[in-house]
Amino acid sequence: MSRMRVAVLISGRGSNMAALIEAAKDKSYPAEISLVLSNRPDAGGLVTARANGIATAIVDHKLFGKDRAAVDAAMQQVLEAHRIDIVCLAGFMRLLSPGFVGQWQNRMLNIHPALLPAFKGLDTHKRAIEAGAKRHGATVHFVVPEMDAGPIIMQGAVAVRPDDTEEALAARVLAVEHRIYPAALRLVAENRVSVIDGRCLIDGAPVPDAETLMTQT
């Protein structure tokens, strides 16, 4: 069976992108990373992508002034040129227009470093510690126009330790991200995820609870 063609959208270091690239090196993985698209020409992840022989593209939003629709149209053109089936946002730090999001409904994934719907937005690890959360983690979800919302595909949790620092917690959550993003993309690429009433079903069953994953860091 031909593999799904995936574009990973990044703005920075691209460690989640790298995890997806690694997973897709296995020929039995149902998706291939066909394109890495960055809004920033200096994103570190572009170097990693090129080193892996993956096509890269840059749509630099700064060249478009305030015209968000034009930025999104340019991205759409690149995605179509590469015959992309699925888009994975991985540290892509731009809001997308509802029109663009609509074109990728249930075909665009995002990873967020918190157990959504808790801690949307930035500084999630600091806020989880300050709130006294006992569990924290990461979520892969389908993208909807509202930021950090949308049907949840997979979650992974870690225990918050009494003496945790933001950096230590972030590192443990990142290890979880690198495990759940390839796993969630696999489910989507295998057409095992459906969305009913705004919620994901996996093989027709509710998404399992966030598994608490043991991480070394």
DSSP string, 158-217: EEPPTT--HHHHHHHHHHHHHHHHHHHHHHHHTT-EEEETTEEEETTEEPPPPEE-----
Residues between 110 and 129 that touch ligand GRF (CB under 6 A): 111-113
Say how many residues touch ligand GRF, by CB under 6 A. Answer: 14
CB 42 within 8 A of CB 21: no
Residue 139's contacts (CB-CB under 8 Å, 6 or more residues apart) are 111, 112, 114, 115, 116, 152, 154, 155
CB 139 within 8 A of CB 115: yes
Closest CA to 173 of 212, 205, 203, 120: 212
Residues between 176 and 215 that touch ligand GRF (CB under 6 A): 177
* 30 upstream amide cis, omega within 30 of 0: no
30 vs 91 by CB, closer to ligand GRF = 91
68 vs 120 by CB, closer to ligand GRF = 120
Q: Does 148 bind ligand GRF (CB under 6 A)?
A: no
Taking CB under 6 A as the criterion, the residue among 13, 82, 127, 186 binding ligand GRF is: 13
Q: In whole angstroms, how close is the CB of 12 to ligand GRF at the nearest point? A: 4
Rounded to whole angstroms, the Cα distance separating 130 from 140 reads 23
**Is 136 part of the annotated catalytic residue set?**
no
Determine the interface stretch with ligand GRF among 34-42, 74-82, 109-117, 197-205 (rule: CB under 6 A).
Answer: 109-117
Binding mask of the shown chain, residues 74 to 93, with x at each position contacting ligand GRF by CB under 6 A: ----------------xx--
- The active-site residue, picked from 61, 82, 112, 136, is 112
Residue nearest to ligand GRF (CB): 91
Tell me which residues are annotated as active site: 112
**Which residue ranges make up the site for ligand GRF (CB under 6 A)?**
10, 12-17, 90-91, 111-113, 174, 177
